[in-house]
Amino acid sequence: MARLIKAALPVVALVVLGTGCSSAQGQDNQRLTERRENFCTQLGGWQKARNAAEEDTPDPDEYDEVGAAAQDVLLAMRPLRDEPVGQGRTLGEATAAATENSDPEAEGLAVRYCGEVGFETLTR
């Protein structure tokens, strides 16, 4: 009986460890999905604020709103900054260029990223 327990113990330990890894990986995937959704939501909010400011008569308060929305996008992008978006650029580079330099090509890369990760409806 003692031999059976000694033989079964490593197998049970592997099963427990494997289950823990699977659960942790599921949590990591969920966290990544949540971060992507948050980024795309913030990107869409910045686009909406920017577009509204472009259509209206210039008002300093609205430009502050656009700047605040840009900061929200940049904060949401931080944990995803190293994800590739094409053309040799990362999400961090594309987002910074779009929000800080009004780079339409970079904005297009960020929007395409949102589409590729399943959140195309959150952007403009």
Question: Which is higher by pLDDT, 99 or 21?
Answer: 99
Residue 81 pLDDT more than 90? Answer: yes
**Structure tokens belonging to residue 12:** 């049970």
Question: Which is higher by pLDDT, 104 or 3?
Answer: 104
Q: Specify the pLDDT at position 74.
A: 97
Residue 91 pLDDT more than 50? Answer: yes
pLDDT in tens, 21-44: 455 677 899 999 999 999 999 999
Q: How confident is the model at residue 1 (pLDDT cuts 50, 70, 90)?
A: low
Among residues of the chain, what percentage have pLDDT more than 90? Answer: 62
Q: DSSP letters of 40-103?
A: HHHHHHHHHHHHHHHHSPP-HHHHHHHHHHHHHHHHHHGGGTTSEEETTEEHHHHHHHHHHH--
pTM: 0.76
Arithmetic mean of pLDDT, 77-96: 96
Q: What is the mean pLDDT of the chain?
A: 83
- Angle at Cα 26 formed by Cα 17 and Cα 74, nearest 5°? 130
Question: Which is higher by pLDDT, 12 or 69?
Answer: 69
